[in-house]
Chain A
Amino acid sequence: MRSDVLIIGAGGAGLVAALSASEAGAKVRVLTKEYPTRSQTSMAQGGINAALGNAGEDSVEAHIQNTLKSAHGLANEAAVRYLCEEAPKAVEWLESIGVCFSRTKESKIAQRTLGGASAPRACYAQDYTGLKILHTLYDKCLEAGIEILSERYLLNFIVNHDQYEKPYVGGATVLNIQSGEVEVYESASVIVATGGYSRIYDKHSTNSTSSTGDGIAAAIRAGARLSDMEFVQFHPTALKNSSILISESARGAGGYLLNSKGERFTNELAPRDEVARAINDEINKGEEVFLDIRHLGEAFIDAELPQERKLAKLYENVDPLHELIPIKPAAHYTMGGIEVDKNSHSKLKGLFAAGECANHKVHGANRLGGNSLLELVVFGKQAGANAAIYAKKFDKNIDTSQHEVSANNFVKGVKYFTNQIDFYEKRNFIGNIFYNNAGISRDDMGLKAVLGAIRQIQREIPFMGPKDKSKICNTNLVEFIEFGNMVELCEIILVCAISRNESRGAHYRSDIPKENDMAYKAHTITWKEDGVLCADFME
């Protein structure tokens, strides 16, 4: 049955959008390639920003100014204002649906300081903030009776054309992972909430193995525009061997960064791009870098950072109470995404986006810690409400026949790829060359070399393919399609990074280390025309 609003992704943004659209009276269906509660949102540790002033003086204006400063001129001030002004309401709403935030002695929601913030602004629940928010949202969706279908992997958006040849979205084609069958979901509107693309950096990413940019790749194929794809945030403190995240709150609470000589070398609470570069510089000098939280004491660590202690013990065999934690920066959040207007609507009619996959131009060149959970609540809500309004007025036909045929051909055809080249090896290779040449520090030569390698891999894709030819739960096939999406986005990131001949926020060019507002204080917009990638800078 056709839905009014089809949501792809059941992370924080998807579930908030679902609740909001359902409240607006729309018939909502949510699809996820995993199960709800298993998304990237569960990994968010630090907190959600709102200028409540519960732990020290703060103001919405200060939140706005901190966010704009960190964005390095690439944020839309009106969007940032909206985000920060809505923040107290967003947290109040989360509180009202039952999120278990940590508390102050005065029985208020506890707040702590994250990097780049002028006040303790991040509301938290120990270091399980994302987990507790996500699960509470899921519980609310159950109460609202929202249909959530698990293990449905997005293939493509359905695009039809009206009598004036204007395109509009009409649903999505999906691979049912459990059955191996292609399914078609008609819908008057679609919200993309599929998360970011940090897994391009493979083992150099803090993210879930699912952050493969599926929705963003499908959106540009369907005719939407992307923006600022070259901006990838590296989190300063991931565990050295596994790239598992150690929350910024460890530094917010007074943790130090030390090199092999035991010296501090940077302001630990500067914005993430600066700290990541400082660490990268030390590593390039041959130093090892450590996070030191020993002086915070057992009581504090166990109360505020229990997950960090557990993860450090498990993955690095160190107990942060007594030992230094070996760290390195790792790809953590992708600022770029589907370009949307102030209603979360993309360039393709009926296609909305929220969360990490969207670019609402609030993070600009560098996101502040605590603003991503905030973004998914504020814009998830807005996307859900607007998609519901759009769907009410929707009066066009949806024709899925062609899309169904091509999706079936694709899933069958891909299994006949010749398999002479191992895509897992290529995935690993791309992760390494991206981390080293299109990561924390970039230059023209390195980026162009990586682009050459990616174009070669694009040509080789027909010689790859899944080895597993079966239908039921073919994770090898899913991982191959994810790989294809990532390769598609790799080219876009590189073209943007090569075009931006300056350094700005997370995009640091060692060959051109200065910001150039005259030429580049603009968004890098990309789209496809007849399958060919186009790029331009636009206000």
Chain B
Amino acid sequence: MSRSRCHVPPKPLPLSFSRGSLPSDGSSVLVILFETNPLLWSGLGGRLDGKESFDETLRQLLVYMIGFLSLHEQNRVVIIALHSNVEHCMYAIPTLASGENDLTNTGSKSDLCAQVISNLATLAMRMRSDFDLSTKSNMPLTTVISMALCCVNRARVYKPHCSPRILCILGSQDSSGQYFSGMNAIFSAKNSGVRIDACLLGYTDSFFLQQAAQITGGSYCMLQQGEKALYYLLSDLPGSESIRAKLQSPRKFCSEYQATCFCHEVNLQVGFVCSVCLTIFCERCRKCLACFADYT
């Protein structure tokens, strides 16, 4: 039942949203997490075989973004550069803060590209000073996903009816230390109705992102040829929600919910869980090794 609300005083905007059950007006907010790790793109990490060129992939990503912005006048994009030290390399195109930033005409779109490129140039300059080959190939993915979710939440304060999406384009490996907080972030995304799409560069699957895509109802694909990034992006990750509902995206999930025990770090299928601190053990013991609860 819809009701005219002209007489109702404007409701103060809620500061956070519980579920993604708000009716969408067709617009969306897209947060792109793009890996800029030099170790990955130079091929030194052994993940990419050098065929993918950073420039070409970035160029195609920008085309995708412009395509996305053209779909709806209220669409907004945020790009976060995913780097081994995230501290100085976040690039939010400030379309969210002002709320009413107009990106519909072509002039602003080229501005957008110019801004992304100039920001990347700044990042490259900074990196030159502290780049060394010992840079790890792991990425603080949890941090960046948490930040992306905060961006989405901020966007919803201004535009409560947009449907939000996070697109991860990266090629680095999962790091096991981030598992719990990462899962926590994924479930928060699910509860806020945020879809996480993952685009893997290279040939190795990311178990973490597979779960992220599966739990939040997003897509997961691999960009094996950087030259065709745009093709993959457009066909596997269509921008509009209404199109996505009609297309069957090529999902490839092999979700193995592997649990590892605390005591021997063995993968197991049946384990014993401490009722106090939820630590997993592979055999019965008298005392919890994590929280020292006494079972006797």
A and B co-occur in one complex: no
